[in-house]
Amino acid sequence: MSRTVNIFDLRLSGGARVYETSSSYRTGENQARRGTHSGVTRVVLADDHPSVRTGIRILLERTPDIQVVGEASDGREALTLAQTLLPDVLVLDLEMPVLNGKQVVERIREMNLPVRVLVLSAHDDRQYILGMFESGASGYLVKDEAPRSLARAIRKVATGQHKWLSRRTAERVGFSLPADRNIPH
């Protein structure tokens, strides 16, 4: 059973924004069409720095198969947008106010939401990466790689690749794997 959510009725705080292109969205149908909605992957951006969100949004606006449908400025907003919009991918900063990235990923997993999470972080420490994968993240990208790798990372995560990690980061933290492959368990 699906329910209609009027995006103008969302009660969001802080810097949260919703960019849905229609005035309503049938959330119950998202899982069935995951990643195939007109060939477009729907993404929510979550970072506490407005300039980072703006830069990522501008970068992704040039990518015709990826649509930013919302932005969150803290972990609680990220979780609310993930629940309400059910994007294909939540691009999530690790260090967020209110709820940190790890807490958001754990709650998404506990709630069994059909949302894949790509962590975007300044940290390239092996323990951060393993911790996020253990929490349920589908991919991990270091921010300095975002301009050249973000769209590819979103596509890989959206199509179901689990524990996605760029070759560069894998090599930097000591994982041995082919390019764009899953890390070992």
Give the domain ranges of the chain.
4-173
pLDDT reported for residue 181: 53
Which of 18-22, 41-45, 93-97 has the lowest average pLDDT?
18-22
pLDDT exceeds cutoff 80 at 28:
no
Task: Compare 93 and 173 and report the one with higher pLDDT.
Answer: 93
Q: What tokens were used for 183?
A: 């890390």
Copy the structure tokens of residue 82.
Answer: 């993930």
According to the CATH classification, is domain 4-173 in 2.40.50.100?
no
pLDDT over 50 (residue 64): yes
Give the CA angle between residues 10, 46, 156 to the nearest 5°: 115
Condensed to tens digits (0 to 9), the pLDDT of residues 103-160 reads 999 999 999 999 999 999 998 888 889 999 999 999 999 999 988 999 999 999 999 9
Q: What is the pLDDT of residue 183?
A: 54
Q: What is the mean pLDDT of the chain?
A: 82
Look at residue 3 in the predicted model and tell me its pLDDT.
Answer: 37
pTM of the model: 0.80
Q: Output the pLDDT for position 1.
A: 35
Q: What is the model's pLDDT at position 12?
A: 55
Please state the rounded mean pLDDT for residues 167-182.
70
pLDDT at 27: 42
Give the burial class of 81: count Cβ atoms within 10 A of its Cβ; 0-12 exposed, 13-18 middle, 19 or more buried. Answer: buried
Question: What is residue 35's predicted lDDT score, i.e. its pLDDT?
Answer: 44
pLDDT for 76 beyond 90: yes
pLDDT at 21: 44
- pLDDT, tens only, 78-87: 999 999 999 9
